[in-house]
A and B are shown apart, each in its own frame.
Chain A
Amino acid sequence: MKPRHKRAALVLGVLSIVGLAAALVLNAFNSNLVFFYTPTQIEAKEAPVGRTFRVGGLVQPGSVVREGVTVRFVVTDTVKSVPVSYEGVLPDLFKEGKGVVAQGQLGADGHFAAREVLAKHDENYMPPEAADALQRADKMRAKMQGTLSPAPTPANGAQK
């Protein structure tokens, strides 16, 4: 083999290694994306059944029921809600009325079996997903309010 051929072989070899590695990475990446849905979307049947995803919102006050190691609670975005069950130890900052994100799968009965429950490690801020769910619910509610009770128009016209 001439040096030039060797160099070409080397470049080809390195490129194929990188290409193969990149293909493997992207493949693993695709099968491990965890999407996020709000209780409203789950209600509207937008969430897949039997695939892992995340649901976020607030823990409905008064909904937490413990049965030994299993705990049941309801996650709400203040418009719609979804019942969740989880086995094991909840995170320290899990509280009724606070933001929560659960990761798991939705059963055919509309019941969410969580394998992981995340609560944020900070008193002041919610998990971004939970905040997102609430915001979307706000928009929904605002829309609904807009259709139900026409807002009185201010004298100077609505501002954008």
Chain B
Amino acid sequence: MNRFLLPLGAFLLLALFLALGLRLNPREVPSPLIDKPAPAFQASTLARPEATIKREDLLGKVWVLNVWASWCAACRDEHALLVDFSRRGVAPIYGLNYKDKREDGLGWLGRFGNPYTDTLFDPEGRIGIDYGVYGVPETFVIDKAGLIRYKHIGPVTPEVLRDKIEPLLRKLDANA
């Protein structure tokens, strides 16, 4: 037995734990909300304070909820992707403008394009709390029965959109 192998063994053990620690990344945690009813909400829209949207208004269609804010840099990464996605009309996409100021949010959409069918305005982040949002951006897929079927934490990447979200949307659409 070569005692000089000890440091190597100790290090490999440490690396193993670091690898396990990496797996714990909050982005990788499955949301407990999956396959549960989407939390109820009633919010005024970003563009028109007097208009409101409720969860019940969206029952019967498959839709995407995207949490964003004008102060969030990562939201910019995914935004062009969302604009393109909404142009292709795969599914309606609703925004949740999270802990933001109305004028900032509207200005941001004016500058980068507006992919959203409509945007819920959540200045206090209360809807966000119900949906277990703890970083922006986050994206949910909600089915016709109002169940959350998928949640993505962090900016949506082309791969996630292509391999996860779009196939799921097509499948949910096919289920009458």
**A/B contact in complex, CB under 8 angstroms:** yes
Q: Does B37 lie within 8 Å of A125, measured CB to CB?
A: no
Interface SS, B side = loop
A88 within 8 A of partner (CB): no
Q: Does B134 lie within 8 Å of A99, measured CB to CB?
A: yes
Chain B residues with a Cβ closer than 8 Å to the other chain, count? 28
A50 within 8 A of partner (CB): no
Q: Does B147 lie within 8 Å of A78, measured CB to CB?
A: no
Q: What distance in Å separates the Cβ of A153 from its nearest Cβ neighbour in chain B? A: 9
Residues of A within 8 A of B134 (CB): 99, 125-126, 130-131, 134
Kindly supply a per-residue 1/0 record for chain A positions 53-80, scoring 1 wherever the CB is within 8 Å of any chain B CB and 0 otherwise: 0000010010000000000000000100
Q: Does B149 lie within 8 Å of A124, measured CB to CB?
A: no
B37: which of A128, A134, A138, A151 is its contact (CB, 8 Å)? A151
> Which of B12-20, B24-32, B156-164 faces chain A?
B24-32
Q: What distance in Å separates the Cβ of A52 from its nearest Cβ neighbour in chain B? A: 25
Kindly supply a per-residue 1/0 record for chain B positions 64-76, scoring 1 wherever the CB is within 8 Å of any chain A CB and 0 otherwise: 0000000110100
Q: Does B124 lie within 8 Å of A125, measured CB to CB?
A: no
B8 within 8 A of partner (CB): no
Residues of B within 8 A of A154 (CB): 143, 145, 147, 175
Residues of A within 8 A of B (CB): 58, 61, 78, 97, 99, 123-126, 128, 130-131, 134-135, 138-139, 141-142, 145-146, 149, 151-152, 154-156, 158-159
